[in-house]
Structure 1
Amino acid sequence: MKINPMQHEMQTMALDAKNVGRVATGQQVSQDFGELLSTAINHVNTLQKSSGELATRFDQGDRSVSLADVMLARNKSSVAFDATVQTRNKLVEVYKELMNMPV
């Protein structure tokens, strides 16, 4: 697990928390959420591509790729995908709940 991107994200969140005086509009929040979701999905896609490439290289006999590397990459991509699916399910559930609320 790489720590630097996580640390950078935490620092960014801390700076955002300090900017409490800034008023965010609904449109800005929507854009921020959309960017966050897009980034997360792209990260999952990258993990899956990397896993597939490692598996292909291992199958072709590349000695620089071990079975442990392939299994680790496959498990990382699997966990990331499962987390994405669960997030999607929660978002759909919340959307349905909001749509059923009386106005």
Structure 2
Amino acid sequence: MTMPVNALTSALQQMQSMAAQAAGGTSPAVDQSGAATASGFASALKASLDKISTDQTKAVGESQAFELGSSNVSLNDVMVDMQKANVGFQFGLQVRNKLVSAYNDIMQMQV
């Protein structure tokens, strides 16, 4: 399965910008006092969840259109979009699992 080059480039750019932010580069998620704000992470997480939801909605819509016999929807497109939605959902699930694990680790730390 291949992804479009622009999607891979976009993902690579996002990872590089996050790596630069984590390495101490200037970030809009850090206020003047140096404290991290949740808006950067929260907005990125919300955007990712919205994309996952959009992909799933699109896949279901194409599947229904194919089942109804629409001539402009091919089985290949339906299967590819269903797999994209599945991979996105699995990614979101793994991110959630890591967040819960990190939260539990933090809550178990002794102060």
TM-score class normalised by the smaller sequence: 0.7 to 0.9
Which of 3, 6, 11 aligns to 1:4? It is 6
CA RMSD of aligned residues (A): 2.5
Q: Quote the residue 1:65 is aligned against.
A: 73
How far apart are the structure 1 equivalents of 2:92 and 2:45? Answer: 9
1:4-61 deviation digits (Å, cap 9, x = unpaired): 35535617828x66x8356924343x11000110010011001001100100100110
Percent pairwise identity = 28
**TM-score between both structures, scaled by the size of structure 2:** 0.76
Which of 80, 87, 106 aligns to 1:98? It is 106
In structure 2, the gaps of 5 or more residues are none
**TM-score between both structures, scaled by the size of structure 1:** 0.81
Shift of 1:67: 1.0
- Note closer, same or farther for the CA distance 1:74–1:22 as it changes in structure 2 (3 Å cut): closer
Q: Which has the higher helix share?
A: 1
Q: Which has the higher contact order (CA 8 A, sep 6+)?
A: 1
- Note closer, same or farther for the CA distance 1:20–1:27 as it changes in structure 2 (3 Å cut): closer
Give the alignment of 1:42-61 within 5 angstroms.
42-61=50-69
In structure 1, the gaps of 5 or more residues are none
